[in-house]
Amino acid sequence: MRLKSALFFTVPLEFKISTGASFRSSHHVIAIERGGVSGFGEGFGNPYRAMMALGAQAGHILCEARDYGLEELREAVSSGRLRPPMCLELALLDLLSREAGAGVSELMGGPARREVRAFHVIPIRRKEEMVREAVRLASRGWGLKLKIGRGARQDLELVKAVRKAVGPGTPIAVDANQAYPPRTAVNLFRRMERYDVRLVEQPCFKKDLAGLAAVRRALDTALMLDESVSNVVELHRAVEHGAIDVLNLKICRLGGFFKALDVLQACADNGVGIYVGTGRELGIGAAALLHISSIVPNGLFYGCEIGWWHFLGFNIVREPLGPVGGVVEVPRGPGLGITLLEPERIRELVRSRGGRPMDTAPHLLGLRSTAYTALQRATSLLHALNRPYYLARELSEALRRPLAFI
């Protein structure tokens, strides 16, 4: 088993939420090979850190996994004996499933559904732009998740305008990204319920489980947590506080595909609903999200969020992965069921969007990685200055764990 190829690239992209902003989107795509069979994986975020992680870990992990089947890989990752980066875990998942001649969801116990209700996120922009984008997406069959948190009046006007524009049939979720104190959240979302909002996501600070529980008790709309839960222990804590109806289950937040399966099982055991969310996954990661969505038990599934490629203006796989009649078909065929574009074609697409492929590791990787992270955090911190509730809670949390910001 060997690392066959790795491609890193960054594309200019403005994406704003209530408590942060970014102005570029960095991704990496890898291929591994064993006995003529290839598996594909992807990741996103700090490209220099990804280069260092692959350089330091890929050889050891691929050597360790050389005799694994899918169950052995899952046990090794879930137990913590093997800690592959997300891109490498997805590539191993794809490769081993292809070798078994079956789709990922079939090897995970069989799909509960072959079609998945798909949602697309709309970042914070001017109200008129967000409404136009909502109409465009709804006309193509997408459910909508609106990023909100600019202020109660503005948020209420936005949701009212979107609901009027798209009509009653399109499901709408809203995500405040921790912007509001509990009392403000209760007042806002009680009023917002008249516009048939399907889910209210993370209205209050991630550690304020008592406040989130108070919001949940006050609303008829399901309360979804994201930032509050990054593992099984935190899920159980949220359940004990009565602070959760639905979990935004993200591979990237939960530590990878197999850790996400462990959290999925804990949700099922506790009757917690599941909305499969996206970080910045392109086609490979989106296929993994669709496979996870297909095995969520009936009665607990709230939707799957994909489509980051629309922000970039291109995808890295041949399959369209878009909704038809409001649903996306789970990819068929062995492995993740996707076909990666040729590397040179991906490079062309990156350059066409003003981006930059990085085929070789630059000098001073460690320093570049630190600078990249510091810039991202500073940008988000500056953007959060107009959210005093969130900023005060975040700084308080950082002072308790000073190494978290270093």
CATH number assigned to the domain comprising residue 118: 3.20.20.120
pLDDT score recorded for residue 236? 98
Last residue of some domain: 306, 329, 352? Answer: 329
In a domain, 405, yes or no: no
Q: What percent of the chain has pLDDT over 70?
A: 98
Nearest to 247 by CA among 270, 221, 229, 220: 229
In sequence order, the 6+-apart residues with CB closer than 8 A to the CB of 299 are none
| Same-domain check for residues 100 and 122 | no
| Same-domain check for residues 187 and 283 | yes
| Same-domain check for residues 28 and 60 | yes
- Could you list the beta-strand ranges (E) of 139-279: 143-147, 172-175, 199-201, 222-225, 246-249, 273-276
pLDDT band at 402 (very low <50, low <70, confident <90, very high): low
| Same-domain check for residues 127 and 94 | no
| Same-domain check for residues 252 and 153 | yes
| Same-domain check for residues 253 and 145 | yes
In a domain, 336, yes or no: no
Last residue of some domain: 286, 304, 329? Answer: 329
Q: How many CB atoms lie within 10 A of CB 43?
A: 30
| Same-domain check for residues 221 and 121 | yes
- Could you list the beta-strand ranges (E) of 57-206: 115-122, 143-147, 172-175, 199-201
Residue 25 sits in a domain whose CATH number is 3.30.390.10
Q: How far is CA 387 from CA 17, 191, 212, 374, in A?
A: 11, 21, 18, 20
Contact of 274 with 296, CB cutoff 8 Å? yes
In a domain, 404, yes or no: no
What's the pLDDT tens digit per position in 2-40? 999 999 999 999 999 999 999 999 999 999 999 999 999
pLDDT average, residue stretch 365-391:
86
| Same-domain check for residues 314 and 381 | no
Q: Could you give the dihedral angle defined by the CA atoms of residues 79, 85, 88 and 91, in that order, rounded to the nearest 10 degrees?
A: 80
Domain that includes residue 140, residue range: 109-329
pLDDT at 105 over 50: yes
In a domain, 334, yes or no: no
pLDDT average, residue stretch 130-137:
98
Last residue of some domain: 287, 308, 329? Answer: 329
pLDDT score recorded for residue 360? 67
| Same-domain check for residues 209 and 321 | yes
pLDDT score recorded for residue 399? 81
Helix pair angle (152-166, 182-192), 10° resolution: 20
Contact of 278 with 83, CB cutoff 8 Å? no
In a domain, 154, yes or no: yes
In a domain, 337, yes or no: no
| Same-domain check for residues 225 and 113 | yes
Number of domains making up the chain? 2
Q: Tell me which residue has tokens 């060997």.
A: 2
Structure tokens given for 172: 């709408």
| Same-domain check for residues 283 and 317 | yes
What is the average pLDDT value for the chain, to the nearest integer? Answer: 94
Q: Tell me which residue has tokens 């990752």.
A: 77
Q: How far is CA 66 from CA 34, 62, 86, 91, in A?
A: 9, 6, 18, 13
Predicted TM-score of the model (pTM): 0.94
In a domain, 85, yes or no: yes
Alpha carbon distance 224, 247 (integer Å): 5
| Same-domain check for residues 368 and 302 | no
In a domain, 406, yes or no: no
What's the pLDDT tens digit per position in 55-104? 999 999 999 999 999 999 999 999 999 999 999 999 999 999 999 999 99
Q: Tell me which residue has tokens 């009212």.
A: 160
